[in-house]
Structure 1
Amino acid sequence: MRRAAMFCLAGLAAFAVGCGGGDDDGGGDSAGGPSGETLTVWNNESQPDRMTATQAILDDFTQKTGIKTKLVPVPEDQLATLMTNAAAAGELPDVVLATPLDQSQQYALEGIFDADAAQAVVDKLGVDTFSKKALDLVSADGKATGVPSDGWGQLLIYRKDLFEKAGLEAPQSLDDVRAAAEELNGDGMAGITLATKPGDGFTSETFEHVALAQGCQIVDDGGKVTFDSPPCVEALRWYGDIASNYSVSGAQDVESTRGTYFAGKAAMMFWSPFLLDGMAGLRADTKPSCEECKDDPAFLAKNSGLVGPLTGAGGTPSQFGSVSTVNISVDAPTEDAQKLAEFMLSDGYVRWLGLSPQGKYPVRAGDSSDPKKFQTAWAGLESGVDTKAPLTEFYSEDSVASLADGVANFQRWGFAQGQGALMGALRGEQPIASAVADVIGGKDPAEAAKEVQSTVEEIQSGLE
């Protein structure tokens, strides 16, 4: 056995096949493959239902190829720490599923992920079968740092019924959001529930969505840090004003913002499309609790609108989004790991997307037999956990179609300017989320922007 397991994640071990690679356990009966080794597979989609579904896909892979796997759940917010520890111990996983875009770039730069191996998989499957946007975002120096698998675009979710009652049109700009938040705030209803927790990735993602609309870029085309620019200062000012005056007080995060909206206590929120099944009453663990939801669990879904790109002072509609990747580590038995990556993007692809189709839009449209094969299959997938149903049963066809538009057109800081590794490094530091919290606490936005500028410049210099 090439490596032993380094750790087990408490509370999640029941859903993993084990905590590391080995030839004496895992799926299948044959050692199989060129190496005869078991592939250690980390999965960032560590929820119990998704782990179970992923294991079924891996079991089929083993049956087809004879290559055994060992599946380990890795919560996304723990990936950086666990990867650092694994690299230091010389016990890297072989394959990592659902890696966030910025960390795919970061770990390729650090010599943890094998870009050559990933690019070879993309080439074999067909470059033209992948979204150009997705490939551009995951690539560095002309190579894919990971095999792009799926993506999502950030949404402004708003109460259509409350907007209609107040005579408000669907929000299309940051000015619209502010006006609606002011109009609908009060009487036990927050105008918007906004992420504000310092040092939190969800706060950073939400702010980036707003900042992109304001025309704020963290670096310019030459890679120079520009966070002290007027558009970024204005984005901090806008965010601080809305959070202070029309949102829920206290440090709000991914759970509390969803909880407030699901309780019917907020007119708007920014969130990823991953919550659409829960908002439709299809998940027992995140069911809406609003008064109207007692009679109709799907009340919020039926009475919520979805807005992707927003316009701000920048003048161009913009939307934050993310692409996930399948990554191969530099220590993996390359041929075996590539076979798994190929399987996840072909025979196992539709089932992988089906883990949470509302937040996993295919960035590989089809194959040589049918250029739209996977997009067509995605459209027929059912969302939910405890109850399954197509999204179109609760949301308009235009809203569901907008999920695809978001993946095709969203933007991200730094990647177009060749600063993907910097974005990955910032994920661990989270200086922007902390600046947001400072502004909400009363700090001058220009001063907060200068502090972020200095921090980002220092991190960037450390990567050179």
Structure 2
Amino acid sequence: MTRSSTARIAAPLAAIAALGLLAGCSADTNGGGGGGEPSAEDQSVVFWTPQTTPERLAAQEAVAAAFTEETGIEVEVVPMAGADQDQALVTGSATGDVPDVILHASPQTGAWSSQGLLDTEAATATVDALGIDTFNEHAIEAVTIDGEISAVPSDGWTHVIAYRSDLLEQAGVEVPTTVEELADAATTIKEELGITGLAFGTQAGTASATEGIQSIFHSAGCELVTDGEVVIDSDACTDAAEQFLRLRNSSVAGDFDVTSARAAYMNGDAAMLLFSTHILDELAGLDEATPATCPECAEQPAFLAENTEFVTVLGEDDPAQFGAILSYGIPTGANVEAAQQYIEYVLDAGYVDTLAVATEGRIPLRNGTADNPTEFIEAWGGLGIGPAHELTSVEIYGEEFVSEMEEGINAVSLWGMGTPDATLAGLVSSQGVLAGQIEQLYNGVPAADVTAAMKAAVEEVQAGL
């Protein structure tokens, strides 16, 4: 489900001392310190991207080429996984050799900003140029560190509840709108139909369980930490743990990881699935690597898509959907002017083509423009999904689905995002702290005792910061 999660980076003093240095490539293109402002033809942009598959890399290079044709500014697209970006940026900052733009995950924004590795003034100016009101409000919150916008939000994905409308009707349950209703529905489905109510990551100690816990707990109104105080033992979190156990017990096949949870739904052995939006193309049979295998699918390849609907938001008051946020950062010492021009291009004229790099996993965090506030989310619905981009989500799931996805992505939220607690929350996630405690719940330990143990484990991590 999650494509990457980032651990905290320890910044060496040498890196901090070197923050004012320009990147080697930028220093070359800017003339090293004399001769006035460079022309567009003399500038260039080095762009690091975690979208590294050959198809995605080619699509990003095409967008970069279009930018070069329009501006004369050359772009070098460098594929680099998130974990590699962390060390490379620290090392590059110490030597003055940094890229100009980095596409990265939200935990990295907080870590890099706290180390002074991002040019917050450049990011703020870019957001202002595009119009802050055109961005997803939660995404802006995610990149606002200590009151400063540290990066420019681009796109992301969220968790959704995919559900078989025919099976819910057969079991006589309503579409859930809260975590408690979800647990009620899942329990009833198991009792009435003898199949798994909700398939999702529950295997203790795994990344799958980490995501499952964060998603369910967060949607239930549970916070990990508030103003530096660990509050995972609150009443809301204890209730979330109880609902999590009910959902876990709705399985007829034991505990799931990402692969087995998806397979259960694709096989027709589960009525509901908690998964990322990356499932959209697979349900429609557009990914040969993950075929639909339900009994009806042999004769009707589109059966699952035709009988699947989605809950994109759980919770009635200020819903918080688990997901991921990708943003563009401008490192300290980058070629700022060219970097800003590039980001403005890929979030405006080149935005739709940028989202099309991996449509089902890149939902716009800039909803539209001042003149057309829903331009980009509407355009997203018309983009092809799956490896071959054969069909659009509107063609498969209908026009209303796009509105529902807009609601979901606008509710995307992560523990600690946009606060000084983001580093702690990121460590708790990357180290699987909560997933390491969840087995106690499975073994009959009261939920209040489990969340108390979670709090102690989180505070241990906090003490090491």
**TM above 0.5:** yes
Return the alpha-carbon distance in structure 1 between the equivalents of residues 276 and 133 of structure 2. 27
Correspondence 1:27-46 to 2 at 5 A: 39-46=45-52
Residue matched to 2:210: 204
Does 1:256 find its partner at 2:260? yes
**Selected match of 1:180 from 170, 178, 185:** 185
Residue matched to 1:28: none
CA-CA distance at 1:124 after TM superposition: 2.0
Return the alpha-carbon distance in structure 1 between the equivalents of residues 78 and 241 of structure 2. 38
TM-score by length of 1: 0.81
Residue matched to 1:403: 405
**Could you list the runs of 5+ residues in structure 1 that have no partner in the other structure?**
1-19, 24-31
Does 1:375 find its partner at 2:380? no
2:434 match: secondary structure: helix
Residue matched to 2:458: 456
Task: Report runs of 4+ in structure 1 exceeding 6 Å deviation.
Answer: 20-23, 32-35
Residue matched to 2:29: none
TM-score by length of 2: 0.81
Return the alpha-carbon distance in structure 2 between the equivalents of residues 131 and 203 of structure 1. 28
**Selected match of 1:126 from 131, 144, 165:** 131
Residue matched to 2:197: 191
2:309 match: secondary structure: strand
CA-CA distance at 1:88 after TM superposition: 4.0
Correspondence 1:436-447 to 2 at 5 A: 436-440=438-442, 444-447=446-449
Equivalent AA in structure 1 for residue 202 of structure 2: T
Residue matched to 1:17: none
Residue matched to 2:271: 267
1:449 match: secondary structure: helix
Distance change in 2, residues 1:131/1:215 (3 Å): closer
Tell me if the contact between 1:21 and 1:70 (Cα under 8 Å) persists in the aligned partners: no
Output one character per residue of 1:344-380: Cα deviation in whole Å (capped at 9) or x when no partner: 1122101111223344332223335644432343343
Tell me if the contact between 2:143 and 2:418 (Cα under 8 Å) persists in the aligned partners: no
Output one character per residue of 1:98-124: Cα deviation in whole Å (capped at 9) or x when no partner: x22232222211233332221121122
Equivalent AA in structure 2 for residue 335 of structure 1: E
Bigger mean CA offset, 37-46 vs 105-114: 37-46
2:414 match: secondary structure: coil
Does 1:286 find its partner at 2:287? no
Return the alpha-carbon distance in structure 2 between the equivalents of residues 443 and 130 of structure 1. 44
Correspondence 1:314-333 to 2 at 5 A: 318-333=320-335
Distance change in 2, residues 1:254/1:240 (3 Å): same
Equivalent AA in structure 1 for residue 415 of structure 2: W
Residue matched to 2:83: 80
Bigger mean CA offset, 112-121 vs 38-47: 38-47
Alignment RMSD: 3.1
Correspondence 1:15-164 to 2 at 5 A: 39-75=45-81, 79-80=82-83, 82-84=85-87, 86-88=89-91, 90=94, 92-97=98-103, 99-164=104-169
Tell me if the contact between 1:43 and 1:73 (Cα under 8 Å) persists in the aligned partners: yes
Residue matched to 2:311: 307
1:71 match: secondary structure: strand
1:297 match: secondary structure: coil
Return the alpha-carbon distance in structure 2 between the equivalents of residues 107 and 86 of structure 1. 9
CA-CA distance at 1:307 after TM superposition: 0.8
Output one character per residue of 1:187-224: Cα deviation in whole Å (capped at 9) or x when no partner: 8832221212455555333322311333311123x331
Distance change in 2, residues 1:335/1:426 (3 Å): farther
Correspondence 1:355-434 to 2 at 5 A: 355-367=357-369, 370-415=372-417, 418-434=420-436
CA-CA distance at 1:436 after TM superposition: 2.8
Return the alpha-carbon distance in structure 2 between the equivalents of residues 406 and 183 of structure 1. 26
**Could you list the runs of 5+ residues in structure 2 that have no partner in the other structure?**
1-22, 27-37
CA-CA distance at 1:263 after TM superposition: 2.1
Return the alpha-carbon distance in structure 1 between the equivalents of residues 119 and 208 of structure 2. 28
Output one character per residue of 1:75-95: Cα deviation in whole Å (capped at 9) or x when no partner: 4xxx23551355246565442
Distance change in 2, residues 1:318/1:282 (3 Å): same
Provide the aligned length of Structure 1 versus Structure 2: 428
CA-CA distance at 1:164 after TM superposition: 1.3
Equivalent AA in structure 2 for residue 327 of structure 1: G
CA-CA distance at 1:265 after TM superposition: 1.9
Return the alpha-carbon distance in structure 2 between the equivalents of residues 317 and 189 of structure 1. 29
**Selected match of 1:169 from 171, 174, 178:** 174
Return the alpha-carbon distance in structure 1 between the equivalents of residues 254 and 242 of structure 2. 17
Residue matched to 2:6: none
Residue matched to 1:229: 234
Bigger mean CA offset, 277-286 vs 237-246: 237-246
CA-CA distance at 1:431 after TM superposition: 1.0
Tell me if the contact between 1:33 and 1:336 (Cα under 8 Å) persists in the aligned partners: no
Residue matched to 1:6: none
